[in-house]
Amino acid sequence: AQSVAQPEDQVNVAEGNPLTVKCTYSVSGNPYLFWYVQYPNRGLQFLLKYITGDNLVKGSYGFEAEFNKSQTSFHLKKPSALVSDSALYFCAVRPYGGSQGNLIFGKGTKLSVKP
């Protein structure tokens, strides 16, 4: 079965420190990979995506993610965390050959950045 795993329910980081939110996937073929962020009582906002090419992709709000095909991972990173980054982060994958862009989401990781 095709799936996305976010192994950490919560990540705690001090403001100014680097952060990593982990994501691994299990799908057939070469998937498209996405990160979304959800602030409390809001819809999801797109952060970044990997389609092809350079394994390091840069996105909104200073976030970046590194695609690692051999490890089937797509970890989200930021060099210096802000308190305002505290939110729920979702990794998503669109499997190759799937219908109409349907996404498979991970269960989400709550990021907490403390001052």
Point out which residues bind another protein (CB under 8 A).
32, 34, 36, 38, 41-46, 49, 51, 88, 90, 94, 98-105, 107-108
With b meaning 16 or more CB within 10 Å and e meaning fewer, what string describes 69-107? eeebbbbbebeebeeebbbbbbbbbbbeebeeeebbebe
Q: At 61, is the secondary structure helix, strand, or coil?
A: helix
> Considering the complex, what minimum distance in angstroms separates the CB of residue 42 from another protein?
6
Least separation, in Å, of the C-beta of 45 and another protein?
A: 7
Nearer Cβ to another protein (46/61) = 46
Of 70 and 100, nearer to another protein (C-beta) is: 100
Closer residue to another protein, CB minimum distance, 9 or 115:
9
The pairing of beta strand 10-14 with beta strand 109-114: parallel
CB of 16 to another protein, least distance (A): 27
